[in-house]
Amino acid sequence: MKITMLTMAAAMPILMACGGGDDDASTGTPPAANAAPLAPDCTALARVVTPNTVIKSSLMVSANSVQSDGVVMPAHCVVTGEINPRIGVNNVRYGINFELRLPLEWNKRFHFQGGGGVDGVLRPALGTLRAGVVPALSQGAAVVSSDMGHTGTSTRDATFGLDPQARIDWGYASMDKVTVLAKDLITRFYGTAPAYSYYIGSSGGGRQGMIMAQRFPTYFDGIVSGAPILEQHINQISSMQMLQRFTAIAPKDANGRPILSRSFSDADLKLIADGVVAQCDALDGVADGLIENYPACTYNVAALQCNGAKADTCLSPEQVSAFTAVMGGPKDSSGKQLYPAPPWDTGIGEPEWRSDQIGTATGPVPNSRKSTNESIKYVFMTPAKPDFDYLKFNFDTDPATMLASAAITASNSTDYTGFKARKGKQIVYVGMSDYLNNPSGVNRWYRELVAANGGMDATKQFVRFFNVPGMAHSDGGKSLDEFDPVTAIHQWVEKGIAPESMLAKGARFPGRERPICAYPNIARYVGSGSVDSPASFRCTAPAG
C-alpha cells in the first residue's frame, strides 16, 4: 500500500492526533478496511497494521511551528508508535517507542537520529546532532528517533538492565526493528523508498551507528558515529580505577568519609593542564592553545610534585602517584594492561573533566558522571549487581563479570565485510579530551580496523576517522568543536567526495577556523600566517 503526499497539507494547522484505534491494531490482525489502499493523508498512517506494533498517533504539523536551535521546521507529518509492548521483569512495562517525522517536501533522504546515554527518552525526531549542523528535518529528510526499548527517569537510568530482553533491545535489536518499520512507513507515505539512508549519532548514538555498520550493514548508505562508546564492558574498568585511586587520596569530612571532588582542586588541575600545554602545544609548529600533534604528546606529572608541604603551586606526592596511575590506564595485580591509557590533552583543566571524573559535591556522596554511572552494575555486569560498591571493584576478578555484556552491547568489531559489500561509508570522530569515553580506545579500534581490512588506504574507502584536539565528550572543551560531519557524509555517499578534513570553529577560539584532519594526519602549521586562518595549517603525517 502506498500513500501520496497531501498537497494542501502545508497550509493546515496542527491537527488532533488520530490514535491507533481499534482492538485489532494491537493484535496485528488487519481489519477489513486495510485491504484497500490507504487514504492519501497523514492520519491514514495511524491505521497501518504491523505485527506487534501499535501506531499511537499520526498528525500534521504546520510549517514554522516547531524549531530546533532556532531553525524552524517545514510542514510535516509526525507519527508515534510502539513496537513489541510487553510486561517484563518486576512487572515493568517495556516497548520500543519511536517517533517518525515526514516532511511534505521530501529530499528522498532518511535519517535515523541516534540516542544518548542509555536512552529511555523519546527525543523529537528533528535530526539534530550538534552545533554547526543543520537539523535534517529542516533540510527535507524524513527522520526517526527511538527510546531504544525502555522508558527511564533520565538517559542515565539503567534499571532496565534487570530485564534480559530490554538489554537486548537497547544493545541492538531496537535499532533493527525501528529502521525496518520507519522505512516501511516512509515508503507508504511517499510511494517510494528512500534514495539514501543515514544513521547519525554521538555518544550512545555513536555506538548505535557502529552497531548498524557491524550488525546490520545493509540498512544504511552512510553513518556518522561521534564519540562512540564502543566497548563499555572494558572501558568502564578505567572508571573503577579512577574512582578508587582518587577517592583514596581525597580529604575526609569530620566523620572520616572521603570527599572525591576535593582530591584535586581547580588550581591543581590547572597546574597539570598548563604543564601539558607547555610540553606539547608547539609540537605542531606553533603555540596557540591547541595540541594538534597529539601522537607526540607525553607528560610526567611528577615535575609538579612539591618539594615540601602541599601548596597551590605544586602537587602532593599522593596526588602525583594517583594521577600518574590513572593516566597510565588500569592494570591488574600482575601489571597486565586492562585498557589503554588516556591521552594527555588540554581538557584536564576544563570543567568537563571535573564533571566527568570527580564532580563538585561538597560532601561524601559524589556526583561525578563516572561515580553515578548505573549502567556498570545494571547493564555491563552480568548478572546485574544493583548494590555493587565501585570502590570494591577487584581488577583481577571483576573484569570477567563484564565480558558477557559485550555480546549484546559492544560495537568494536573490525569485520566490515557486509558494509564494504554494500559500499557503505562511515565517519567516526572523537575528542582528544573526551575523558568520559577515552579516545585511546577508539583510536585502538581504528588501528585494528585498518590492520584487518588491508591497510590505511583500503580502510579509508569506507571508514574515515577524525581526532578533534581539545574536544570533550561529543563537544565542548578548549577546542574547535563546531564542524559538520553530516554534510561530509552526504557528500561522500551521494557525490563520492571523501572527506580529507572538516573545517571547524569554536566559541573558545573566536574568529579561528582550522581543518580537522582524517587520521592519521594532523593539522600542522605551515610556518607563517595567522593561527586563526585555515590556510596556515596543512593536513600532514604527524612526523612530517
* Buried b / exposed e along 431-451 (16+ C-beta atoms within 10 A): bbbbbbbbbbbbbebbbebbe
Cell numbers describing residue 464: 574515515
What is the spatial distance between Cα 110 and Cα 140, in angstroms, rounded to a whole number?
A: 9
Task: For residue 428, give the 3-state DSSP assignment.
Answer: strand
C-alpha dist (Å) from residue 59 to 76, 103, 242, 335:
9, 12, 49, 60
Q: Residue 517, SS3?
A: strand
Tell me the three state secondary structure of residue 312: coil
Asked if 374 contacts 197 with a C-beta cutoff of 8 angstroms, the reply is no
Active site annotation includes 434: yes
Locate 477 and state its grid cell. Answer: 572543551
Nearest to 32 by CA among 20, 24, 21, 40: 24
Tell me which of 146, 174, 202, 203 is the catalytic residue: 203
Three-state secondary structure of 326-363: HHCCCECCCCCECCCCCCCCHHHHCHHHHHHHCCCCCC
Q: Is 76 a catalytic residue?
A: no
Amino acid residing at 120: G
| Partners of 514 in the β-ladder | 504
**Measured between alpha carbons, how far is 373 from 18 in angstroms, rounded to an integer?**
39
Cell of 29: 490482525
Q: Which of 473, 474, 481, 536 is catalytic?
A: 473
Identify which of 442, 9, 2, 431 has the alpha carbon closest to the alpha carbon of residue 209: 442
- Of 434, 475, 481, 484, which residue is the catalytic one? 434
Site of grid cell 558494509? 419
Handedness of CA 116, 121, 125, 126 (dihedral sign): negative
**Residues forming a β-bridge with 50:** none
Strand runs (DSSP E) across 147-300, as ranges?
196-202, 222-226
Between CA 377 and CA 373 the distance in angstroms is 8
With beta carbons less than 8 A apart as the criterion, state whether 415 and 318 touch. Answer: no
CA-CA-CA-CA torsion sign (344, 346, 352, 353): positive
Known catalytic residue at 239: no
Distance between CA atoms of 67 and 45, rounded to whole angstroms? Answer: 23
Q: How far apart are the first and last CA of the chain?
A: 59
Catalogue the active-site residues: 203, 434, 473
